[in-house]
Chain A
Amino acid sequence: AQRVTQPEKLLSVFKGAPVELKCNYSYSGSPELFWYVQYSRQRLQLLLRHISRESIKGFTADLNKGETSFHLKKPFAQEEDSAMYYCALSGSGNTGKLIFGQGTTLQVKP
């Protein structure tokens, strides 16, 4: 079964501290993994995807197939990073079906 697990409901860090939001997945094939973010009073939006291997707003995520993980990292957290973060998986062939994790609220304290 396809499943995405985000073990932390809430992650609270101080500004300037490193951040790692955990994501583990269960999928037998070759998945596509994504991170979505929802800032306060804004829409859910794509942050990054593993295929593009980009760094967006200082965030990076590496797909580790051995550990079936796709953790989101940032070396120095900023207050504006405070938001809800969702890890998502697509593995359904030629469809856009996304399986989302439960989400992690990141709180960056001043």
Chain B
Amino acid sequence: DSGVTQTPKHLITATGQRVTLRCSPRSGDLSVYWYQQSLDQGLQFLIQYYNGEERAKGNILERFSAQQFPDLHSELNLSSLELGDSALYFCASSLGQSAAYEQYFGPGTRLTVT
């Protein structure tokens, strides 16, 4: 699959725990984006990386952090999890750093915090 891949597909964990979500961008894409989709907040932008550097930040909680590695894959770390963090987390990638470049979305990771 040459598209955006995300692992795991599903994750069930308890409050207070820490998890790591992984994203591999499309081949050749330098930007990676993370979005959170919850029932009450809708689809919200969290953070963008471009070629390893943080490029833009949304309303990302301090308990959340992300990074993009030299091979361009990205990880989103969520710590001290709360029930409200249960959501679908999408990764997207694009060739460039601006909105002029189409974003391609992954299938998402569904996180359930119990």
Binding site for B on A (CB under 8 A): 32, 34, 43-46, 51, 86, 90, 92-103
Interchain CA distance A103-B43 in the complex, whole Å = 9
Closest residue to A101 on the B side, CB-wise?
Answer: B42
Which of B48, B96, B98 gathers most chain A CB within 10 Å? B98
Report yes or no: B42 in contact with A96, Cβ–Cβ below 8 A.
no
Q: Identify 13 residue pairs between A and B in the complex whose beta-carbon atoms are under 8 Å apart, listed by A's number.
A: A32-B99, A34-B99, A43-B4, A43-B104, A43-B105, A45-B104, A86-B43, A93-B98, A96-B103, A98-B99, A99-B45, A100-B42, A100-B45
Binding site for A on B (CB under 8 A): 3-4, 31, 33, 35, 42-45, 48, 55-56, 58, 90, 92, 94, 96-107
Interchain CA distance A45-B48 in the complex, whole Å = 18
Chain B residues, Cβ within 8 Å of A100:
35, 42-45
Report yes or no: A96 in contact with B94, Cβ–Cβ below 8 A.
yes
Chain B residues, Cβ within 8 Å of A32:
99-100
How many pairs, one residue from A and one from B, have CB atoms within 8 Å of each other in the complex? 63
CB within 8 A of B42: which of A43, A45, A51, A102?
A102
Chain A residues, Cβ within 8 Å of B58:
97
Report yes or no: B106 in contact with A95, Cβ–Cβ below 8 A.
no
Given A43-B106, A44-B90, A46-B102, A94 contacting B43 (CB threshold 8 A) = no
Report yes or no: B97 in contact with A94, Cβ–Cβ below 8 A.
yes
B81 CB to closest chain A CB (Å) equals 24
Chain A residues, Cβ within 8 Å of B55:
95-96
Report yes or no: A96 in contact with B98, Cβ–Cβ below 8 A.
yes
B8 CB to closest chain A CB (Å) equals 17
Interchain CA distance A101-B44 in the complex, whole Å = 9
Report yes or no: B107 in contact with A103, Cβ–Cβ below 8 A.
no
Interchain CA distance A90-B92 in the complex, whole Å = 15
